[in-house]
A and B are shown apart, each in its own frame.
Chain A
Amino acid sequence: GENVEQHPSTLSVQEGDSAVIKCTYSDSASNYFPWYKQELGKRPQLIIDIRSNVGEKKDQRIAVTLNKTAKHFSLHITETQPEDSAVYFCAVRRTGGGADGLTFGKGTHLIIQP
């Protein structure tokens, strides 16, 4: 099955600096790559996603890049703010027959230092 590796597990940055979280996946046929943000005790919420026919997507301070050849994608957060502190999960949509579920990375705890 699909294997998703996410790094780092914890990331501490100064407020205003940028943060980058990286994920690699194993199935070259995967075609959808979302990023979820989860605050303590809350549900995961989609913050940005990208499909395999696009190399980069940006939404204000958040961007995602995809390298299909290398099978990795990254989340970039610029001008970080205290409210960005949370756990971020990358995910990959499975492919093949009956494969619509998401396989998640183990998560990155992002800490924004004031």
Chain B
Amino acid sequence: DAGVIQSPRHEVTEMGQEVTLRCKPISGHDYLFWYRQTMMRGLELLIYFNNNVPIDDSGMPEDRFSAKMPNASFSTLKIQPSEPRDSAVYFCASSARDRGSYEQYFGPGTRLTVT
């Protein structure tokens, strides 16, 4: 398996622009997680899905952030409008809970820079 795939790997945008990050989980995994990593706040859970349904979005910083999972193999995280404080590395992770494992497999991340 190719592992969790994220695109783009790097994104530079101007304040006020819309940003869309993409994730393809490992095939067969029923959980998908979005995390954000910054020096100041570390790794934070933003939202997660189970069987394509959002379960907990309490970590989403504000209404500018939204996430969708239209099918088992694709998820998006959108920021509109983007702000400089959104600059971070955004990781997607997936896990196969139906196999009795809690292990989360991380994608390579998207490094977002908002100027």
Q: Which A residues lie at the B interface, using CB under 8 A?
A: 32, 34, 42-46, 49, 51, 89, 93, 98-107
B109 to chain A, nearest CB (A): 6
**In the A-B complex, the 10 residue pairs with the closest CB atoms:** A101-B45, A104-B43, A43-B106, A98-B55, A98-B56, A32-B102, A106-B42, A44-B106, A101-B48, A43-B108
Judge whether B1 is part of the interface by a CB distance below 8 angstroms.
no
A46 to chain B, nearest CB (A): 6
The A-contacting residues of B in range 23-78, CB under 8 angstroms, are 31, 33, 42-45, 48, 50, 55-56, 59
Task: Please count the residue pairs between chain A and chain B whose beta carbons lie under 8 angstroms apart in the complex.
Answer: 49
Q: Is the CB of B91 within 8 A of A43?
A: yes
Q: Is the CB of A49 within 8 A of B102?
A: yes
Judge whether B103 is part of the interface by a CB distance below 8 angstroms.
yes
Known: A100-B31, A107-B42. Is A46-B48 also a contact (CB below 8 A)? no
Main secondary structure of the interface of B (DSSP, over half): strand
Q: Which B residues lie at the A interface, using CB under 8 A?
A: 31, 33, 42-45, 48, 50, 55-56, 59, 91, 97, 102-109
Known: A93-B102, A100-B56, A100-B97. 10 other contacts (CB 8 A): A32-B102, A34-B104, A43-B106, A43-B108, A46-B105, A89-B42, A100-B50, A100-B55, A101-B56, A102-B33
Chain A residue contacts of B43, Cβ below 8 A: 44, 89, 104, 107
Chain A residue contacts of B56, Cβ below 8 A: 98-101
Known: A43-B91, A43-B108, A43-B109. Is A102-B45 also a contact (CB below 8 A)? yes
B94 to chain A, nearest CB (A): 12
Q: How far is the CA of A67 from the CA of B78 in the complex (A)?
A: 40
A29 to chain B, nearest CB (A): 15
Known: A98-B56, A100-B97. Is A43-B107 also a contact (CB below 8 A)? yes
